[in-house]
Structure 1
Amino acid sequence: MMRSLERHAVILGLLRQQEHVTIEAMAAACDASLQTIRRDLNQLSEDGRVVRYHGGARLADLARTATYEVRSASHVREKVAAGQLLARLIPDGASLFLAGGSTLALAAQELRACERLTVVTNNLHAAVTLYDKTGFDVCVLGGTMRPASGSMIGEDAVRMIERYSLDYAVIGTCGISADGALLEYDQGLVPPILAMIANARQTVLVADGSKFGTKGIVRAANLEAVDHFVTDRAPEGAAAELLARHGVEVHPAGLPSADRTLDGRERPQDYRNEENIRAHIDKNFQ
């Protein structure tokens, strides 16, 4: 059973992903009773962190402003390592969808090391990072903006995705369940992810090792749809067995597999080391 502080963290995480969340959804995410969640919301409301309404809550305005910065500052070293490996694995001249999320926003900075990429993205943070890269063709999807994730969602975004047939769908996830489901907290993010997977020849999941066992409330896809898993370290135990069972090729940062791109071409021996990762973090997160 979760302690109150743990429930508060889950509740605030949900509210950072969605503008409004019902008490029932919070109770399911925390595996707690409705009465317990109501007590938690009373405490968070007294602290000025949430605003209650009948049947649910939203973040208070002061808490809302830090949404993206809070999420993007977690597991930064691991996300950067995975992003740097992604840049080594994506072949020059490739076309790819780049989904939303803080991990892929960080990975976009590393993709600038590639050449002649075509990038179709609903990730506004990634688009800002890539738009002025010489030789890149960047398409930003239209739709409705989700401030909590910096992503464009909705029917317009999906229709634009369906116009393309690209090499790779590069996606992230909030969590990976024991049955292989890729989880999100915001159901609005799911249709663009599914459309990207359906309109790409291969799917690349980029996530740090902390995502295994992490809770979410919406199933976005399944590991069965994933061809490659790019991560900061080699999965072990149940996580490794899960990936093997679904036939996913694992690419952990720092191992020899990074010497070839996903289409089998050799990469120069310039893999960025711990010193480069530290310099990136110092520059962007101090």
Structure 2
Amino acid sequence: MMRSLERHAVILGLLRQQEHVTIEAMAAACDASLQTIRRDLNQLGEDGRVVRYHGGARLADHARSATYEVRSASHVREKVAAGQLLARFIPDGATLFIAGGSTLALAAQELRACEGLTIVTNNLHAAVTLYDKTGFDVCVLGGTMRPASGSMIGEEAVRMIERYSLDFAVIGTCGISPDGALLEYDQSLVPPLLAMISNARRTVLVADGSKFGAKGIVRAAPLSAVNHFVTDRAPEGRAADLLARTGVKVHHPANPNLSSQDAAADGRE
């Protein structure tokens, strides 16, 4: 069953594809009841993102230019599957960076199943999801907000990251090029990402299988900088060959490959 954050992403994605969408169509897409969708629409309406009408809704005019909701609405089930595996992989009591992006915002919801995490993040969506979890210590980085991704960027964000030495850097990507580069759409996202990788003992890439292919225009980091790849399905073909050449440990639901206890030891190396 989808959580509210996941349903909201699907609803907003539908409304970007069609001018008007019925409650019944939203319920079918989310595998949820009509009553649940009405509650979701009430919340989205209060946030100013949708306009309700009898039997359905449309996207609020000012929200049509946003891009985060478009990305967050794509491959939701796959992203959630990867996030659920991440929560099994990260050991209780671990310290971790969480980078920006819609995949990690959804993964943050799954991390609530863990205990005693210390989290440093520039991902505002993830921070909102995690801030009230009892036993978590969440630090939100300062800097300049990038509305398109809900991320804090800039020199101040990088300086704050450099104050820490954590177990894991949990990162995402817009795409993975055929030669093994992690790609982004915006150069401003790269410095915080590289700082997280440099100041963590292990780097965990969380991405669904659709990310293989040359999406994005900025080369952020080499795949060889990643220790673990958490995904929704087993990579095949060229993707599998690329991961094998770079020595990245692959974890997918059919073959998790590493327990949280092993991950804890791995993070302390």
The TM-score normalised by the length of structure 2 is 0.74
Residue aligning to 2:45: none
Residues 90 and 263, structure 2, Cα contact 8 Å, conserved in 1: no
Q: Distance in 2 between matches of 1:264 and 1:81?
A: 19
Deviations 1:167-215 (A, max 9, x none): 0000000000011000000110000000000000000000000000132
Residue aligning to 2:150: 150
Name the CA shift for 1:262/1:63 in 2 (closer, same or farther; >3 Å).
farther
Give how far 1:248 is off: 0.2
Q: Distance in 1 between matches of 2:63 and 2:116?
A: 41
Deviations 1:136-190 (A, max 9, x none): 0000000000000000000000000000000000000000001100000011000
Q: How does 1:15-34 map to 2 (within 5 A)?
A: none
The DSSP-based 3-state class of the residue aligned with 1:263 is helix
Q: Distance in 1 between matches of 2:261 and 2:248?
A: 13
Residues 1:246 and 2:246 aligned together: yes
Q: Distance in 2 between matches of 1:254 and 1:130?
A: 27
Q: How many residues align?
A: 205
Q: Distance in 1 between matches of 2:233 and 2:84?
A: 13
Structure 2 unaligned segments of length 5 or more: list them: 1-60
Q: Distance in 1 between matches of 2:264 and 2:120?
A: 23
Residues 94 and 264, structure 2, Cα contact 8 Å, conserved in 1: no
Q: Give the letter for the 2:155 counterpart.
A: E
The DSSP-based 3-state class of the residue aligned with 2:79 is helix
Q: Give the letter for the 1:108 counterpart.
A: A
Residues 1:129 and 2:129 aligned together: yes
- Runs of 4 or more, structure 1, over 4 Å off, are none
Q: How does 1:135-284 map to 2 (within 5 A)?
A: 135-257=135-257, 260-261=259-260, 263-264=262-263
The DSSP-based 3-state class of the residue aligned with 1:87 is helix
Q: Distance in 1 between matches of 2:113 and 2:63?
A: 37
Deviations 1:216-269 (A, max 9, x none): 1101101110000000000011000000100100001232526x1163579xxx
Deviations 1:89-120 (A, max 9, x none): 00000000000000000000000000000000
Q: Distance in 2 between matches of 1:168 and 1:253?
A: 20
Q: Give the letter for the 2:210 counterpart.
A: S
Q: Distance in 1 between matches of 2:139 and 2:219?
A: 27
Root-mean-square deviation over aligned CA pairs: 1.6
The DSSP-based 3-state class of the residue aligned with 1:158 is helix
Percent identity between matched residues is: 82
Residues 93 and 116, structure 2, Cα contact 8 Å, conserved in 1: yes
The DSSP-based 3-state class of the residue aligned with 1:115 is coil
Q: Distance in 2 between matches of 1:135 and 1:62?
A: 35
Residues 89 and 263, structure 2, Cα contact 8 Å, conserved in 1: no
Residue aligning to 1:120: 120
Residues 1:63 and 2:64 aligned together: yes
Residues 1:91 and 2:117 aligned together: no
The TM-score normalised by the length of structure 1 is 0.69
Q: Distance in 1 between matches of 2:155 and 2:215?
A: 26
Deviations 1:45-104 (A, max 9, x none): xxxxxxxxxxxxxxx95532x422111010001000000000000000000000000000
Q: Distance in 2 between matches of 1:113 and 1:255?
A: 20
